Amino acid sequence: MAYEKEKEIAIAAVQAAATVCEKVRAEMVPEAIEKSDKSPVTVADFGAQAIVCKMIKDAFPNDPIVGEEDADDLKTPEMASRLAQVTNYVKVVLPDATDEQIPGWIDQGNGDVSPRYWTLDPIDGTKGFLRGDQYAVALAMVEDGDIKVGVLGCPALKLGDRSGILFVAIRGGGAMMMNMDGSNPEKISVTSSSDIPNFRFVESVAHGDQDLHARIAQAAGITTDSIRMDSQAKYGAVASGNAVLYLRLPSAKYPNYREKIWDHAAGVLVIEEAGGKVTDMHGKTLDFSKEPRFVDTQGVIVSNGEIHDKVLAALAN
Ligand SMILES: Nc1ncnc2c1ncn2[C@@H]1O[C@H](COP(=O)(O)OS(=O)(=O)O)[C@@H](OP(=O)(O)O)[C@H]1O
Ligand SMILES: [Mg+2]
Ligand SMILES: [Mg+2]
Ligand SMILES: [Mg+2]
């Protein structure tokens, strides 16, 4: 099948990063460092980005990686002990790693959107990670603006009998979910709107306009309360048929916020390969060919496909 090597390396990289994130959460009270935009980053975000970039670059040296984090906050002398913590955790999966190498590995994620590139969110839902809730390691490969490979590691996600779920999709090859170690793989697809118990919607814990979400969901016929969940685990919930809709509409508090490619790329492919649909709030497809942030689109609507037009119509009113 196409992209076999990309898939294999992407799965291994996400598994390695997720192992380290779980270890950080189990062993230390992960402390948030505040970034310039006031959002949090932790030792685990840095470690996960270092691991994934190193593994992707070893296998595909010419592919740029567009990652969320950079190593600036680890390079100053005052941050030496923080860097040492990152190195110690990276060593769990890459035993030869050194303090000298780690910033360079992280900064391999400073690549540009290109004809072929990878995009990485080492921890999507850092706030959920810090709270002990959901987070995801999200990695995708994009060619000519088309997402070809998407891997979403959700170590804390429980669905049915599963605990810790890896979602994997290849363009044209369908979407799968499996345990974090790759065992027990299963093809997934979105559910129909007549599946009453799953006719519900997911939204962020904090982001987005939750009042508007509730109104739009109601207009689309959803009468139950939302499930609030951090990270791209929300894409996994819809792709596996545990919900029919994920709403992410811009909040009036942040009118200039633009969504980032790494917050969506892996999730979008998982949804599309599971038979669902993703657009912005006006029905436009998300453009992965230009910049790390979506300049021309706002908001994200993720659905089982069936109810997509109804949601867009409700938004247009
Ligand atoms: N104002 C605003 N609006 C929309 N999105 C924003 C906003 N600010 C930040 N972000 C991005 O939200 C990512 C986390 O999304 P979640 O769905 O997990 O949010 S929540 O924690 O459940 O509220 C988060 O990703 P991570 O930084 O990887 O956690 C951010 O990229
Ligand atoms: Mg962040
Ligand atoms: Mg994110
Ligand atoms: Mg992140």
49-104 pLDDT tens trace? 999 999 999 999 999 999 999 999 899 888 899 999 999 999 999 999 999 999 99
Closest Cα to atom 4 of ligand 1: 207
CB atoms within 10 A of CB 224: 11
- Cα gap 148→6, rounded to integer Å: 9
The conformation of residue 209, written as its DSSP 8-state character, comes to -
- Cα gap 270→34, rounded to integer Å: 31
Please give the angle made by the CA atoms of 9, 276 and 186, to the nearest 5 degrees: 50
pLDDT range class, residue 316, cuts 50, 70, 90: very high
- Give the pLDDT of residue 1: 74
Average pLDDT over residues 247-253: 94
Ligand 4 center to 223 CA (angstroms): 32
Q: Is the CB of 127 under 6 A from ligand 1?
A: yes
Q: 152 is written with which tokens?
A: 């979403």
- Cα gap 184→178, rounded to integer Å: 5
Average pLDDT over residues 218-239: 97
**Pocket mutation for ligand 1, best pick of 70, 133, 204 (most atoms within 8 Å of C-beta):** 204
**Which residues line the annotated binding site?**
68, 121, 123-124, 263
Ligand 1 center to 125 CA (angstroms): 6
Q: How many CA atoms lie within 13 A of 39 on its CB side?
A: 13
- Give the pLDDT of residue 122: 98
**Which residues line the annotated binding site for Mg(2+)?**
68, 121, 123-124, 263
Ligand 1 center to 231 CA (angstroms): 7
Ligand 2 center to 138 CA (angstroms): 12
pLDDT over 90 (residue 111)? yes
pLDDT range class, residue 136, cuts 50, 70, 90: very high
- Give the pLDDT of residue 7: 98
**Which ligand ends up closest to the CA of 46?**
4
Q: Is the CB of 209 under 6 A from ligand 1?
A: no
DSSP-assigned beta bridge partners for residue 147: 142
Q: At what angle do helices 4-27 and 80-90 cross, to 10 degrees?
A: 120
DSSP 3-state percent helix, strand, coil across the chain (nearest 5):
35, 25, 40
Can you say whether residue 62 is alpha, beta or left, with left for phi > 0 and alpha for psi between -120 and 50 degrees? alpha
Which domains are present in the chain? 4-188 (3.30.540.10), 196-316 (3.40.190.80)
- Cα gap 208→211, rounded to integer Å: 9
Contact 297, 280 (CB under 8 A): yes
Q: Is the CB of 273 under 6 A from ligand 1?
A: no
Using CB atoms within 10 A of its CB, is residue 250 exposed (0-12), middle (13-18) or buried (19+)? buried
- Cα gap 46→95, rounded to integer Å: 16
Q: ipTM value of the model?
A: 0.96
- Give the pLDDT of residue 31: 82
> Is pTM, for the whole model, over 0.95?
yes
Which positions are annotated as active-site residues?
Answer: 45, 126
- Cα gap 248→270, rounded to integer Å: 17
- Give the pLDDT of residue 70: 96
- Cα gap 238→218, rounded to integer Å: 17
Which run of H or of E encompasses 267? helix 265-273
